[in-house]
Structure 1
Amino acid sequence: MTGTESALVSAGWLHRRLDSTIVLDASVERSVDDNGQTVFAPGGEVFRTAHIPGARFADLFAVFSDPAAAVPFTRPTVAQMASAAQQLGITPSDEIVVYDQLSGAYAARVWLVLRSFGFDRARVLDGGFAQWVDQGYPVADGDASGETTEPRIEVHLRDLTGRAFIDLDEVRAVAVAEQSSTTLVCALRTPDYTGESGGARPGHIPGSVSVPYPDLLNDDGTFSTERTRKALQASGIDAGSEVILYCGGGINAAGAALAFDEAGYPLPRVYDGSMSEWRAHPELPLVTGPHPR
């Protein structure tokens, strides 16, 4: 866990403190296109349909990412994050809880972005919206009531990129090194890691091991310390290892980073561009098949 405090809160904890906590809904919309492929879009309509009362919508596509970047979900610039904080009415001193309505990885991504800008009191609702609903807590709909279209506060941020994110050059140096003290970990599902799922340039970054993000969760979608530790031990990752996580677009990797942290491991850094960026460089190698044990 980061510091001595868990980065997760329960639905009961949030319900008791709802009046004094800023809640961010990081939901996205998931659908299937005409080719049978799963596609994701901004979750504004998901939010308007149902959300935790008082929550503010955290748009992962246009606000908590740089919409002008070449790679989707690229971490926003300092200026973009300051603007987002003003629009949402949040400061680094606020108690913030983020959730989503899918796997928790989207909330974890917003959490990690916030942490990388000095929002050290940001945390994630364990089990997300599903846990909130399952425990019978109230649900609201419509637009958020607490947001404003005018900046309300001046926000000064720290740029702590290096403690949470890593770039292509650093990942490439680890991947091509004959020996490295850093472990590259792929948080994608096993068929994506091995290349069995197909697609353009399938496979994984050379030298990386497979620790799928879904394997780190309990059956109810909450984070599992036991399953996380078991998965890391099976992959030969000890508590002192320096880890770089990646996935398809930096989302599942953020969820895995939170799981590692909660299990007592050092917070890994996330390769921000992940496979979206790596695959876009044809000169960069990819490996298919399982990792040799």
Structure 2
Amino acid sequence: MPARNELINTAELADILGHPTLRLFDCTTYLEYQPEGSGIPYIAVPGKHTFEAGHISGADFLDLQGEFSDQTTELRFMMPPVAQLEAAFGRHGIGADSQVVLYSIGSAMWATRFWWMLKSLGFDHVSVLDGGLDKWQAEGRAIETGSAKGYPPAKFTAKPKPGYFVGKQDVLAAGARRDTVVVNALVPQFFKGLEPGRYGRPGRIPGSVNVSAATLFDPQTKAFVPLADAEAKFAAQGIIKDKRVVAYCGGGISATIDLFLLHQLGYDNLTLYDASMSEWAKDASLPIETG
């Protein structure tokens, strides 16, 4: 299957700014990591302050934890009920005819998380801005300041697709399947359990391989690595197109960078362990591996 193109570059976005069907969103969240032993790995802070300090003209802001996550669980960023998402996306003006472009600051993972959510709801007119606001500003492109003006409300009708999210029992079973590869998107020291775990027990899901999301974009420009480079990184870990891929990380965010690039490469059988290590590391009944 040929590669998909759901990545938009800064020049392409500049050409369509102001188009009536464009719905452009800053998706940034900041994680304030807490001291070891505090009982919580981080506090999620919506990026409204940096949005108001500077954003691409016409953009609106999406608060992932505050408006687009399940509020009934102590786990952060979990996928909420479909009705909640329909109402929230509709409030932000996303309808059947919208062309959505997502971006974030520092890392594309906040944008790719929303991309994955929208795809799971059957909404396909969605792209991620390569390099996000970092690249946009580095090129000297104009920004505006102040609060979001927003878009007129619309009716967002979800058509949920199966298979986008899996739970811990599915992941446990996947480890024994030769047609499935489980990939961890965290940096190597957390994958190997060389540092105290932010989420509980240090280590990884047994049998999983490591393709760190941080290696899939340029640390300077924040743009994604070329697809050929990404494909080589995945192939080196045994991730090939005839296998099902289960991706995970700490809280279901950075793993969507891996999933985004795999999708761009034409992979079809992709899924996300939404609770990731935030759940797995705390559940003593589940096995864990280090080294």
TM-score, normalised via structure 2 length: 0.90
1:19 positional shift: 1.2
AA at the equivalent of 1:190: P
Residue of structure 2 equivalent to 1:16: 15
Residue of structure 2 equivalent to 1:76: 80
Structure 1: tracts of 5 or more residues without a match: none
**SS of equivalent to 2:18:** helix
**SS of equivalent to 2:154:** coil
1:5 positional shift: 4.0
Percentage of pairs with the same residue: 33
Confirm or deny that 1:247 pairs with 2:249.
yes
1:119 positional shift: 1.5
| CA deviation map 1:97-150 (0-9, x unaligned) | 0000121011000111011112100110011111111122111111111247xx
Q: Are the counterparts in 2 of residues 249 and 272 from structure 1 also a CA contact under 8 Å?
A: yes
**Aligned pair partner of 1:264 in 263, 266, 269:** 266
**SS of equivalent to 1:170:** helix
Q: Are the counterparts in 2 of residues 92 and 120 from structure 1 also a CA contact under 8 Å?
A: no
AA at the equivalent of 1:172: L
Aligned equivalents of 2:140, 2:49: Cα separation in 1: 22
RMSD of Structure 2 on Structure 1 (CA): 2.1
Q: Are the counterparts in 2 of residues 187 and 253 from structure 1 also a CA contact under 8 Å?
A: yes
Moved over 6 A (4+): none
Residue of structure 1 equivalent to 2:170: 170
Aligned equivalents of 1:13, 1:163: Cα separation in 2: 32
| CA deviation map 1:154-198 (0-9, x unaligned) | 3321112x24222222112113x2x43110000110000000121
Residue of structure 1 equivalent to 2:105: 101
**SS of equivalent to 2:171:** helix
- Residues 92/165 of structure 1: CA separation in 2 closer, same or farther (3 Å cut): farther
More displaced 10-residue stretch of structure 1: 54-63 or 233-242: 233-242
1:13 positional shift: 0.5
Aligned equivalents of 2:202, 2:232: Cα separation in 1: 27
Structure 2: tracts of 5 or more residues without a match: none
Residue of structure 1 equivalent to 2:205: 205
1:9 positional shift: 0.2
Aligned equivalents of 2:201, 2:35: Cα separation in 1: 22
**SS of equivalent to 2:290:** coil
Residue of structure 1 equivalent to 2:67: 63
Residue of structure 2 equivalent to 1:51: 55
